[in-house]
């Protein structure tokens, strides 16, 4: 399956949160990403590979100390633009969820 197809099946909220987290913590490990986002390590690896192939992030090596090599995940221009689009979609979905929840709460309060 090619990268664009992988991205189409990726949950847009996960895609957004992944790009957001990488932008804020470029040296985060895949294991830490998985824990922070509440998904499996395999899912993170799959998503990162697709994002690298599609050009949303790039991977760089760095040495945090002499005995260990780490990685930096950096958003590309294309990745930053995609994050902006995903942010708008994320906010719109959350606003709709908020309005639905607000109506449900109001309805329940009326029955009390």
Print pLDDT tens along the chain (112 aa). Answer: 555 565 566 788 999 999 999 999 999 999 999 999 999 999 999 999 999 999 999 988 765 545 455 678 999 999 999 999 999 999 999 999 999 999 999 999 999 8
For residue 95, the enclosing domain spans: 3-111
CA 97 to CA 13: how far, in whole Å? 13
3-class state of residue 90 by DSSP: helix
| Domains: count for the chain | 1
pLDDT at residue 4, as a whole number: 56
pLDDT at residue 64, as a whole number: 56
pTM: 0.74
Supply the CATH number for residue 8's domain. Answer: 1.10.10.10
pLDDT at residue 61, as a whole number: 75
- The DSSP line for 5-50 is HHHHHS-HHHHHHHHHHHHH-TT--HHHHHHHHTS-HHHHHHHHHH
pLDDT at residue 5, as a whole number: 60
């Amino acid at each position: 399956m090619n990268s664009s197809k992988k991205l189409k099946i990726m949950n847009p909220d996960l895609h957004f949160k992944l790009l957001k987290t990488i932008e804020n913590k470029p040296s985060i490990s895949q294991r830490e990403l998985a824990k922070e986002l509440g998904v499996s390590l395999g899912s993170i690896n799959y998503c990162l590979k697709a994002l690298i192939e599609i050009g949303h992030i790039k991977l760089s090596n760095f040495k945090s100390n002499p005995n260990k090599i780490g990685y930096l995940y950096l958003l590309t221009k294309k990745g930053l633009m995609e994050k902006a689009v995903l942010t708008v979609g994320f906010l719109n979905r959350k606003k709709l969820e908020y309005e639905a929840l607000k109506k449900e709460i109001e309805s329940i309060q009326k029955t009390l």
